[in-house]
Amino acid sequence: MNYRHLCLAALATLAVQGCATPSVPQIAGDELLDGQAKTCTASTTDMTAASPSGTIAMTNDGWCGVYVTDGSKPFQLALLGTRPAHGRVYTQPVNGRTRIEYTPYDRYTGSDEFSVLLRPVGNGPERTLQVAVTVTAGAAPAVAEPAAKPATKAPVRRAPAKRTTPAR
């Protein structure tokens, strides 16, 4: 095969790969546990139930997540249906499941709720997951001492410049 044939073969391979159906990105391992609340207990019902629901009990010092699957794979799409009143919701595929993370607003304690519309891969029926959240106070973060202000120098006073006039 000459150089021209190799280039054509490489281009054909790239073209076929470009037409392939993109897969749902996966995050392997527990590398995304940074920032998880110190106390995080989450549970869900079977996603095939008539009204799937989940619960989250957590401290307000990070996020806590509910994991759901469409059989053995994550859902293709997760859309926020009802917003929580006292926090934020993020969704992402992790280890073959969809993780729905709730992060309460700073210093919030109490109950909250939200819903997520889940669309499975393929033509399965969309499901709406209702999630009830209970947030308790977490350990207060350590407050750093303010840094000492640098010493300021006294302003330098300069004598006014003398004006000289040229001799006539």
Q: Note the pLDDT of residue 16.
A: 36
pTM value surpassing 0.95: no
- Residue closest to 77 by CA, chosen among 132, 109, 43, 116: 116
Number of Cβ atoms within 10 Å of the Cβ of 65: 26
| Per-residue tens of pLDDT for the chain, all 168 residues | 454 444 444 444 444 334 333 344 444 445 567 889 999 999 987 787 888 999 999 999 999 999 998 877 888 889 999 999 999 999 988 888 889 999 999 999 999 999 999 998 887 888 999 999 999 998 655 444 455 566 666 666 666 666 666 666
For residues 89 and 117, give the distance between their C-alpha atoms in angstroms, rounded to a whole number.
12
Tell me what pLDDT residue 97 has: 85
Given strand 127-136, what is the order of strands in its sheet?
A: 40-44, 53-59, 127-136, 110-119, 77-82
CATH number at 23-30+37-136: 2.60.40
Q: What pLDDT is recorded for position 46?
A: 77
- Dist. CA 67–CA 86, nearest whole Å: 21
pLDDT value of residue 125:
85
Residue 91 is predicted with a pLDDT of 92
